[in-house]
Amino acid sequence: MPYSSQLIEEIYEVTSEEVKLDASKLFTCLHKDDLEMVSASIAESAKNMTRWTLDYRVNLPKTGVKWLRGKANPEKSIDGSILWHGYIEDITELKKQDEMFNNSLKMATLGEMAAGIAHEINNPLAIIKTASQQMATSMKRGDFSLEKLTKNTEKINQTTDRITKIIKGLRFFSSTSKDGKFSSESFYNIIDDTIGLCTEKFKVNNVNLRLNYPDNVETFFIECRAVEISQVLLNLLNNAFDAIELLDPKWIEVKVVNNEKSIILSITDCGLGIPRELQEKILAPFYTTKACGKGTGLGLSIIQRIVEAHHGKFWIDHECKNTRFVVEFLKSHPIHPVAV
C-alpha cells in the first residue's frame, strides 16, 4: 500500500507504516463470512476496471466487529499492476441505526395488518372449539360415531396446521436476517408465508386475492435476505388494500414470472392507475396519499432500498390499465451485497 492516512489506525488498528510494508494486515482482520465477498469484489473491479464499492465487516482485537464502507477507483500501471485510489469509512453506527429503523418499519407494517392477523387466528380457533364441542356433545348423548370423530379430528388437524402456518409467517417476518448475509431461498415459500399474514383481512373485506404462479413455482430459488423480500411483498399488499378499500368489486393479483436470470413479482390491483404527476413523488420518503395517521409514507421508499440492495429493479407499469407495481430480483449475484 503506497500510501494511507494516519487515520487508518482508528479504523483498522494498524499504522500507515505497517500497511505500507505489508498490506495483508488489512485482510487478516476481515470477518470470515465476508472474506470471499471482499476478494471477489476486488477481483471484479480489477477485471472490469470498474469502481470498487462495498460494505463489509472486520473483526479487530480491541474493538471487535466493525462495519466498513470502501470506495475506490482502479488505475492500471505501466507494469500491468492495478492501484486503487479511494477511502474507507467506519459505518458501524449507521448500520445499527438502519437495523433499528428497518425493524421499526417492519413492526409498523405488522401493526397495519393487526386486525387481519387477529381474524387469521381467531377464526381457526373458533372452528377448533366448535368441532371439539360437537365431539363432547356426541359422547354425552351416546350418539358418538367413528365417522363423526374422524371428520372432526381431520377438521381440527387442518385448522391447527393453518394456525401454525400463520405463526410461522409472523415469526419469519419479525425476525432479522442473520449477519446481513444472503442465502439461497425458496421464492415460493417466502411468498406463501407472507400472504398467510393477510388472506383473512382480504377475505373479511371482500377483496378477491388472485395468485398467478407458474406450475413449477416451488422450484424457484433466489439469493436474498428472505425477510426483506417478505417486507417488500407485505408493503405492496398493504398499499394495494388501502388504495382499493372503497372500490367494488375489489381484487388484487400476485403474479410470478420466471426468467433465465431473474424472477419478476408484480402486484396489480383493481385501481385505475397512479397519475403521472404522483408517480415520482410516491417513491420519496414520507410522501403519502393516505389519510392522516394511516401509513408512514415510507413503504415504497423502503421497498426501493431493499430492491436496490438485492441488485434488482422496482417500477410502476405504465402500460397496465390498472395499478401495477413490479419488482425484479436476480436469482444470483456475482458479489453478494451486504448493505440495505
* CATH 3.30.450.20 location in the chain: 8-90
Q: What is the pLDDT of residues 54-74, one digit of tens each?
A: 899 999 999 999 999 999 999
Q: Which CATH architecture has domain 8-90?
A: 2-Layer Sandwich (3.30)
**pLDDT tops 70 at residue 114:** no
User: Which class for 57: exposed (0-12), middle (13-18), buried (19 or more C-beta within 10 A)?
Assistant: buried
How much is the pLDDT for 64?
92
Tell me how far CA of residue 295 lies from CA of 68, 241, 305, 325, in angstroms: 33, 12, 18, 18
Average pLDDT score over the chain = 81
**pLDDT tops 90 at residue 197:** no
Distance CA 145, CA 141 (A): 11
Per-residue pLDDT band for 303 (boundaries 50, 70, 90) equals confident
Report the Cα–Cα distance between both ends of the chain, in Å, rounded: 30
User: What is the topology classification, in CATH, of domain 96-330?
Assistant: Heat Shock Protein 90 (3.30.565)
Q: What is the pLDDT of residues 136-185, one digit of tens each?
A: 888 788 777 777 788 888 888 877 877 776 676 666 555 555 556 788 89
299-324: average pLDDT:
84
Distance CA 28, CA 10 (A): 17
* CATH 3.30.565.10 location in the chain: 96-330
114-141 and 92-112 helices, crossing angle to 10°: 50
284-296: average pLDDT:
46
Distance CA 296, CA 113 (A): 14
Distance CA 145, CA 332 (A): 55
Distance CA 293, CA 185 (A): 35
Q: Given its phi and psi angles, is residue 13 left (phi above 0), alpha (psi -120 to 50 degrees) or beta? A: left
DSSP lists the bridge partners of residue 85 as 73
Closest CA to 246 of 268, 271, 278: 271
Closest CA to 116 of 171, 188, 166, 176: 166
Distance CA 174, CA 36 (A): 29
